[in-house]
A = this chain, B = another copy of it.
Amino acid sequence: MTNEQVVRPNIMAVLEDRGYRSTNSRRSIVHILEDKGSGFTAEEIGRELPSVGRATIFRTLKLLLEMGVICRLNLPDGPPKYSLSRVEHHHHTVCVVCGNVGEFRAATIERLMRTLSNEIPGDVIGHRIELYITCDLCSKENTN
């Protein structure tokens, strides 16, 4: 696991580079994403931007997903959560108590996946790894 500086792209610039327009709604959604960083739901964003239509929120999230700027995480229960992606490939931790989402990188996993792909029938083109944890905060609260 590494802890190097997280490099994030200028999201609006990425959108514009792909020919998408820089609109008020998109800017305010992106602004909130950058503020929250990780573990936010679509509904949450909608609540903070009542002037922006629900459809637009989902449309924008979908766009950003396709561009790889954010990722969606399906939790065992509750609505899916979105997180800003690192530029680099990464994986997620989810606290099963509070639902907080974290990110980590581990070169060992990637090396292992390459090895594994020899033993899997078919061509491995991607993978997704989620670690379910109880985060430090939640285990502390439990012992109090």
Contacts and interface: CB of A to CB of B under 8 A. Distances in A.
A95 B124 CA distance: 9
A86 to B, nearest CB: 16
A127 B131 CA distance: 4
Given A108-B115, A121-B136, A122-B136, 20 more contacts: A74-B74, A93-B122, A96-B125, A96-B126, A104-B120, A106-B116, A106-B119, A109-B116, A112-B112, A116-B131, A121-B133, A122-B134, A123-B133, A123-B134, A124-B132, A125-B132, A125-B134, A126-B132, A127-B132, A129-B129
Interface of A: 1, 74, 93, 95-96, 102, 104, 106, 108-109, 112-113, 115-117, 119-136, 138-139
